[in-house]
């Protein structure tokens, strides 16, 4: 059983992780701006952008998971970068080391096929430039943190069921993988928490 602090619990992936982790017997504290927006056993009100405010909910935990994302990735945003920087500061202050963040595989092309690299990704990069720029800066914060981090990189997210039937790659994209359910992303986070091979690594996942 692990003690986990979760940010982004009101989003699709966050809700899936909260449900799966709780059913697996872990104790999860969901830190949200509005506790009324979430029905869960352990919900705390906190401003993720204030390291001092969230530190008490991180202190003494085994791991921190953030599934925070922009509500509109087509507009300029720094929500993932800023929230992750705040979480990292709070973790350093409390001595908690294990951090898992959800990013996106669209920003990178390592492992992709030639069509995806030369045609698909350049088009998506122009459309999703703001959200992907935020995620890239967020990843920079994570990799420079000195913590025991894992970056989960899914492609397009769907509301499909939990199947556990998906592919994963360390350090490179899953070739031909274009989508994955939020439920399977949550499953990947849970698996990564128990897998030392994912520490200080990127994990790309896709159907």
Q: Classify 104 as helix, strand or coil.
A: coil
Region for 143 from its dihedrals, namely left if φ exceeds 0, alpha if ψ lies in -120 to 50, beta otherwise: alpha
Q: Classify 8 as helix, strand or coil.
A: coil
Is the pLDDT at 25 greater than 70, yes or no? yes
Cβ(145)–Cβ(93) below 8 Å = no
**pLDDT of amino acid 7:** 98
What pLDDT digit, counting tens, does each position of 91-126 carry?
Answer: 999 999 999 999 999 888 777 777 777 777 777 777
Where residue 127 falls among pLDDT bands split at 50, 70, 90? confident
**pLDDT of amino acid 73:** 66
**pLDDT of amino acid 87:** 98
Instruction: Specify the DSSP element, H or E, that contains 20.
Output: helix 12-23
User: What mean pLDDT, rounded, does the chain reach?
Assistant: 93
CA 15 – CA 30 distance, rounded (Å): 10
**pLDDT of amino acid 108:** 81
Edge-to-edge strand ranges of the sheet holding 63-66: 43-45, 27-32, 3-7, 63-66, 98-102, 148-153, 201-206, 167-170
Instruction: Specify the DSSP element, H or E, that contains 183.
Output: helix 182-193
**pLDDT of amino acid 126:** 72
Which CATH entry fits the domain spanning 3-206: 3.40.50.720, 3.50.50.60, 3.20.20.210, 3.30.1490.20? 3.40.50.720
What pLDDT digit, counting tens, does each position of 44-94 carry?
Answer: 999 999 999 999 999 999 999 999 998 776 689 999 999 999 999 999 999
Is the pLDDT at 12 greater than 80, yes or no? yes
Q: What is the DSSP string of 58-88?
A: HTT-SEEEE----S-TTS---HHHHHHHHHH
Taking residues 182-186, report their average pLDDT.
98
Residue from 152, 177, 157 nearest 167 by CA: 177
Cβ(205)–Cβ(156) below 8 Å = no
pLDDT higher for 118 or 143? 143
Is the pLDDT at 149 greater than 70, yes or no? yes
Query: DSSP secondary-structure letter at 174?
Result: P
């Amino acid at each position: 059983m692990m003690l986990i602090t979760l940010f982004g619990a009101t989003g699709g992936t966050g809700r899936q992780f909260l449900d799966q982790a709780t059913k697996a017997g872990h104790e999860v504290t969901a830190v949200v701006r509005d506790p009324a927006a979430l029905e869960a056993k352990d919900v705390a009100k906190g401003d993720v952008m204030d390291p001092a405010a969230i530190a008490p909910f991180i202190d003494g935990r085994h791991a921190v998971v953030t599934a925070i994302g922009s509500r509109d990735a087509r507009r300029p945003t720094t929500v993932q970068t800023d929230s992750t920087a705040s979480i990292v500061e709070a973790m350093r202050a409390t001595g908690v080391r294990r951090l898992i963040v959800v990013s996106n595989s669209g920003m990178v092309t390592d492992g992709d096929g030639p069509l995806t690299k030369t045609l698909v990704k350049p088009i998506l990069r122009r459309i999703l430039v703001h959200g992907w720029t935020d995620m890239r800066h967020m990843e920079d914060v994570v990799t420079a943190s000195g913590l025991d981090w894992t970056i989960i990189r899914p492609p397009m997210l769907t509301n499909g069921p939990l199947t556990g039937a998906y592919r994963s790659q360390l350090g490179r994209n899953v070739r031909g993988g274009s989508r994955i359910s939020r439920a399977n992303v949550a499953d990947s986070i849970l698996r990564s928490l128990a897998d030392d091979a994912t520490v200080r690594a990127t994990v790309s996942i896709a159907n």
